[in-house]
Structures are given as C-alpha cells and as structure tokens.
Amino acid sequence: MSIFEAILLTVITASTPLVIAALGELVAERSGVLNLGVEGMMIMGAVAAFASAQMTGSPYIGLLGGIVAGALFSLLFGFLTLTLVANQVATGLALTILGLGVSGMLGEGFVSVPGVRLAPIVVPYLSDIPLIGSVLFRQDLTFYLSLALMFGVSWFLFRSRTGLKLRAIGDSHGSAHALGISVIRTRYLAVMFGGACAGLAGAQLSLVYTPQWVENMSSGRGWITLALVVFASWRPWRVFAGGYLFGAVTILQLHAQAFGVGIPAQFLSMLPYAATIVVLVIISHNRRTTLINTPASLGKPFVPER
C-alpha cells in the first residue's frame, strides 16, 4: 500500500501542471485564439517563481511571480496577434523560442541554488485517513487550485452569461461583433487568463515538482497541454481526466526504470510523447466529432473594419 500511495502522490504532482496549463489554454481556444506559446509562458513562469521565492523566501510570492510573468508574456502574444493581426501559429512558436531563451538567461544565476519548496496544506484529522487522507488532504496549494479551476472554468463556460459570449466569439467572431460583443477585449482577457495559468503551472514545476531551477525544465509539457485540449474536446472535466492520464504515463515510466524493468530507458522516456501522438491520431480519425467540438473561429484573425 505504501508503494501504491507513493506512486499515486507522484502522479498527482506530475499531472497538476498539465491540468492547470491546459485549462488556461482551453479558455483561450474557446475564444478563438490558438496560442502555441504555452511552453514559453510556462518556462517563464517557472523562472519567475523560483527567482521571486528565492529573493523573498516566500513560495507564495513565488507563485504570484509565476502567474504575473505568464500573464505579461501572454500580453506580448496578444498584442502581436490581436492588435497587429500577426499569424497566431508563427507567433506562438516564436513566443516559445523566446521564452526558452530568456528564461535560460534570467535563470543562469540560479542554477544549483537550493530552492524554496511550497509546503503541503495539512488538514487536521482528515489527513490521517489511510490513503485518501494523504492524497486529498495533504497536498500543496496548486493541487487545490487545479480542482477549483476545473469547476470554475466549467461553470464559467457553460453556466455564465460572459462564458456564453466567449464561446459565441470562438464559434463566430463576426456574428458576435455584429451583436455588440467586444471581440478583441474578450480575447485579450482570455489570452491573459491562459498565460496566467501557464505561469502558475510553471511555478508548480520549480516550487513543488522539482524545487530548483534547471534550464528548459518544462521539458515539452507545454506541447502536451496543447494536445490535451484537443484530446479533451475542449471540455474542462475531460482536460482534468486527460491530464492525469498523461501524468500517470510520465510517472509510471520513471517507476518502471527504478524497478529495473527490462525495457530500454530511451523507450520508456518517449512513452508520454508517444502516447500524445497516438491519442491525436485516434481523435483525428473521428473527424465529425472533432469538427463539432472545435471552435469554428479558432486561429482565425479578426479585424472589425474588414
């Protein structure tokens, strides 16, 4: 039971940043904006969180620093794609490359420096329940924020008036504009929310998952979150389930290596990314379902004068 509990706890820790970043990207894509710069925003959030926590000694200020860094970095994407109407795919890729480079430069002085770990929140009595207690009531703040985000995003998109407007923009920005809805402002807010979530996910990496700064520590998780949104058919609860599926694959390959399973380590290391490709192929096979769930204006620029 102790081994199973340890594996379950590490799966939760590995899945949390995927869920948080994917939920933010889901909101942005629901508004019709395709931001491929999640990896760049995530790594910027990681370095900003580590630096903020290191200089202040508070991991909570580190979390805030990661959120702010991700949101500010997303504003650059928003300015280029929403105001200057640059290509969203090319801009997102450039943002990722820029984020990886800038984070490496800013974090150079923090390499090999001991980090400030975000301590778990222990709920008295409930945390003593076998298995369930440590899994649900002895977790760090980011885990509880991921749960709150799942319920909050689901309610916002499908139960609120503002969420209905956002989905209307994603489905037909021209019709939404004709009805008097501010398309650009709504998309800016959605992009900033996605950036803040990516920054929070990056902060979780440098304050919880591995409390230290390592260059390129996001290790492609931003790309996995993009696939996760498609895998979830733009549904928040499916994002949550899919995030834990991908997190489990990541952790199980690490435990397989630790247990000395007779499979090449390189093959085990590629499993999370191979699983991503397989899932996308399976989803693409059902073209009708994909077209029904995909926001019709996704990735399309909007200029009111045209």
Backbone angles phi, psi at 122, to 5 degrees: -100, 120
Summarised one tens digit per residue, pLDDT across range 79-134 is: 999 999 999 999 999 999 999 999 999 999 898 888 899 999 998 888 888 878 88
Domains of the chain with bracketed CATH: 2-293 (1.10.3470)
CA–CA gap between residue 164 and residue 175 (Å, rounded):
13
Going by C-alpha positions, the residue among 94, 74, 63 that lies closest to residue 33 is 74
User: What percentage of the chain carries pLDDT values higher than 70?
Assistant: 93
37 CB-near residues (< 8 Å, 6+ apart): 73, 74, 77, 91, 92, 93, 94, 95, 96, 99, 222
Summarised one tens digit per residue, pLDDT across range 48-90 is: 999 999 999 999 999 999 999 999 999 999 999 999 999 999 9
- What's the predicted TM-score (pTM) here? 0.92
Going by C-alpha positions, the residue among 63, 68, 253 that lies closest to residue 143 is 63
Whether the CB-CB separation of 173 and 303 falls below 8 Å is answered with: no
Summarised one tens digit per residue, pLDDT across range 192-223 is: 999 999 999 999 999 999 999 999 999 889 99
Mean pLDDT across the chain: 90
Whether the CB-CB separation of 217 and 43 falls below 8 Å is answered with: yes
